Amino acid sequence: MKQARIASLALGLLWWLCSFTRGDWVRFRLPDLSSGWGAVALEHLPDGRLLYGESGNLYRQETWDSPNFPPFTGEPDGLDPSFIAAWDADTAVVGAGGWSPSLLYRFAPSDVDADFTDIGVSVQNYHGVFRDAAGLYTGGADTGPDSDQHGIRYISLDGSINRILIDGISTYSCGFDIDRNGDLYVGDNDDGKVYRFTAPQLAMAMTGTPLTVDDGELVHDFGEGGNLTSLAVDGLGRIWAAGWMTDGIKVYNPAIDAEFTYIPDLTNCNYKVDAFEKDGTFYISYLTESDPATAGSAVYYGYDQAAAYAIPEPRTAGLIALGVLLCLRPRRWSAA
């Protein structure tokens, strides 16, 4: 029994030490917040360039790894970008944001002088991700029978399809993301749980009854009463989570059933996360604000290769594993 307790403590120490190892984040300062209550949004083009939105302004990274972020010139008046979703270099959608239903605009993200076209749908839009070349999933309230709660719908780029797929998820809007198989990972901001809805489930909901959280598979519980305002699924299948006024970002690795915490930048601040791929390499990125909800606050962007995270640090893992083995090794006691 004593050996079992020692082994349990050692493995717990291994988890704790691995939770706070850091990688080598590439970091840029972005244009400051121009409004205290505006949203911030991030997305990446297929070539890795960042799309950044805040309080009525949109920017695109000049080149990969460049510190320059020229603004778009034709964004519509009143835009408070809640999200940016890009399908390719020629097709992206930005949500106008705000507390009430608002418009979605289509534009060509590779051109900072691009026109913005209203797709003809007005919904509360907290977040959005592309499902396919024809349309995207958006999240917000006013979705259906539970219209006062966060839900997810599918909207086609031509506005002809606007259908509720998942209703009554949580009281407050929450992050979600799609994986490489087309499965949707949805956060419940009431309790910090993440549910997976498969591509076949979502396809059936396109023509049938909307799903609820009870129809999803519980993948992980980040706990702490929710605060999953941003979620991302990287190309290796790990789930990243961020929120308001937090110390860093979290990631869950289902392959080893372990959760890790990283502090890539500031503490006690707002974080948003996004996963992307460039030239076959998977990355994770973040936005953070130095003084949340304050006009003029500095905004920072960082990224690193996703493979460097959510795994035990080799040296630490090896030392503690050796300690566990020594603790469990039978001993011979000699009489004094």
pTM for the predicted model, two decimal places: 0.86
> Count of residues for the chain?
336
Taken in order 297, 276, 281, 157, is the CA torsion positive or negative? negative
Q: In angstroms, rounded to a whole number, what is the distance separating the alpha carbons of residues 311 and 256? A: 8
* pLDDT at residue 261 in the model: 95
Q: Which residue has the higher pLDDT, 28 or 144?
A: 28
Mean pLDDT of 53-65: 94
Mean pLDDT of 106-111: 98
Strands 299-305 and 281-289 turn out to be antiparallel
8 Å CB contact between 161 and 130: no
Backbone torsions φ then ψ of 206, nearest 5 degrees: -65, -30
Strands 299-305 and 117-123 turn out to be unpaired
8 Å CB contact between 15 and 9: no
10-14, 111-115, 133-137 — which is least confidently predicted? Answer: 10-14
Helix (H) or strand (E) holding 328: helix 314-328
8 Å CB contact between 311 and 318: no
Question: Mind listing the pLDDT tens digit for each residue in 81-95?
Answer: 999 999 999 999 999
Residue with tokens 């083995």: 325
CA distances for 235 relative to 85, 181, 218, 310, angstroms: 17, 10, 20, 13
Question: Mind listing the pLDDT tens digit for each residue in 160-207?
Answer: 999 999 998 988 888 999 999 999 999 998 899 999 999 999 999 999
Task: Determine how many CB atoms are found less than 10 A away from the CB of residue 148.
Answer: 9
5 sits in the region (left: phi over 0; alpha: psi -120 to 50; else beta) called alpha
